[in-house]
Structure 1
Amino acid sequence: MTYLFRVLLKPKGPPLFQLGRLVATPGAIELMVLTETSPLELAAMHVAGDWGECDPEDAQTNNEAVKHGARVMSVYRLPLIKKDQAEGTGEGAAPDGPIAIEDDRIWVITEADRSVTTFLLPEEY
């Protein structure tokens, strides 16, 4: 299946590490499609050291991981669109529509060997 995302990238800074191959789980793809969020925008933030909603301790761990070649993880909260907008039906939208995601967080993880970066939902870990 092919998904198209609108992208207007503004560099967040120079890349700090290699991303490798970009892959995504089905849940992450669904969330990015529903929120019209480009994986390239998330990757640009991640590779520039914008760790999203990581707590200060995890951010420090990421900074050390960049220096020493360990795994790097970012957490982003995506802006979910309203259910009736996703269904295109307005006020009378059915309660059991296509949105089954209860959390709006997405994880972006780059492996220590920099071979792959994965977009996934926390429950898919």
Structure 2
Amino acid sequence: MEDVNQIALFPLGRIVMTKGVHLAISADEMLTALLRHAQGDWGDVCDGDRKTNEESLARGFRLFSVYHASDKTKFWIITEADRSYTTILLPEEY
């Protein structure tokens, strides 16, 4: 698989995950979602969040994506505004 940094539209910073995600989501599903996030595919966000992400991408604000694992478990990926961290987490861990 390609290096995320070579195809990313923005820096991901340090990539971290919560314990819940570590236990519930496979590494392959996390990596696939992380690549989508880095390429500006925000997953299953609502139209309002999609528009906010597009503006945030241009202006350097926080970026938020929503994905679902093969077992339907919902998880989020959030990249901080300063691009220092990207966190993969379950909604209930927010």
Same fold by TM-score greater than 0.5: yes
Which amino acid counterpart does residue 108 of structure 1 have in structure 2? I
Query: Distance between the aligned counterparts of 1:54 and 1:76, measured in 2?
Result: 8
Aligned residues: 91
TM, length-normalised to structure 2: 0.87
Q: RMSD across aligned C-alpha pairs, in angstroms?
A: 1.7
| Bigger radius of gyration | 1
SS in 2 for 1:27: helix
Equivalent position of 1:44 in the other structure: 35
Equivalent position of 2:74 in the other structure: 105
Equivalent position of 1:117 in the other structure: 86
Equivalence map 1:29-108=2 (5 Å): 29-33=22-26, 37-80=28-71, 104-108=73-77
2:22 pairs with 1:22: no
Query: Distance between the aligned counterparts of 2:17 and 2:60, measured in 1?
Result: 22
More helix by share: 2
Q: Please report how far the alpha carbon of residue 43 of structure 1 lies from its aligned counterpart in structure 2 after TM superposition.
A: 1.2
Query: Distance between the aligned counterparts of 1:39 and 1:79, measured in 2?
Result: 11
Q: Is the 8 Å Cα contact of residues 37 and 78 (structure 1) preserved in structure 2?
A: no
TM, length-normalised to structure 1: 0.67
Q: Is the 8 Å Cα contact of residues 76 and 105 (structure 1) preserved in structure 2?
A: yes
Q: Is the 8 Å Cα contact of residues 29 and 69 (structure 2) preserved in structure 1?
A: no
SS in 2 for 1:79: coil
Unaligned runs of 5+ residues in structure 2 are none
Identity over aligned pairs, percent: 43
- CA-to-aligned-CA distance 1:45-88 (integer Å, 9 cap, x gap): 001010000011100100100100000000001111xxxxxxxx
Q: Please report how far the alpha carbon of residue 38 of structure 1 lies from its aligned counterpart in structure 2 after TM superposition.
A: 3.7
Unaligned runs of 5+ residues in structure 1 are 1-7, 81-102
Q: Please report how far the alpha carbon of residue 42 of structure 1 lies from its aligned counterpart in structure 2 after TM superposition.
A: 1.5
Query: Distance between the aligned counterparts of 1:56 and 1:110, measured in 2?
Result: 19
